[in-house]
Structure 1
């Protein structure tokens, strides 16, 4: 499955997020990573992200099993008035 992960965290935790995500995905920008994972790897990544996250952090996971559908999940703080437009 194809994964895109973005996070917004306290500056002291950014290095921890980067180290964790680099074990699974490739960095695109400082807080954006992408790659291909098996469902089991994706489940482990989500569990580790939940353990690392605090209520003030935001983690966004976008994933697809094919090139047509895109799903997303959020971990932590929810952003108000957030809209995602994907065709």
Structure 2
């Protein structure tokens, strides 16, 4: 499945959440990740994220796309892929 994950977490946890999501998905913008992932790997990732976040303060949004061929993605300005910056 294809997913898009966005997050808004406390400053102390931002780097930990970002690092964890980079293990599973492509970092496309600040606080935005996307990519193909299996259901089981997504559950594993979310369980690990759950250990990092504070559910009283933080939020994680997961958009599951059943058929990624139905997504039309438009980018205005520079298209970013932060993973390429660190290779």
Match in the other structure for 1:35: 35
Computing the radius of gyration over CA atoms, which structure comes out larger, 1 or 2?
2
The CA RMSD measured in Å over matched residues stands at: 1.5
Number of matched residues?
69
Instruction: List alignment gaps of at least 5 residues for structure 1.
Output: 69-87
When the two structures are superposed, what TM-score results if normalisation uses the length of structure 2?
A: 0.72
| Residues 1-87 of structure 1 mapped to structure 2, 5 A cutoff | 1-54=1-54, 55-67=56-68
Q: Show structure 2 runs of 5+ residues with no match.
A: 71-87
Q: Which has the higher strand share?
A: 1
Segments of 4+ in structure 1 off by > 6 A?
Answer: none
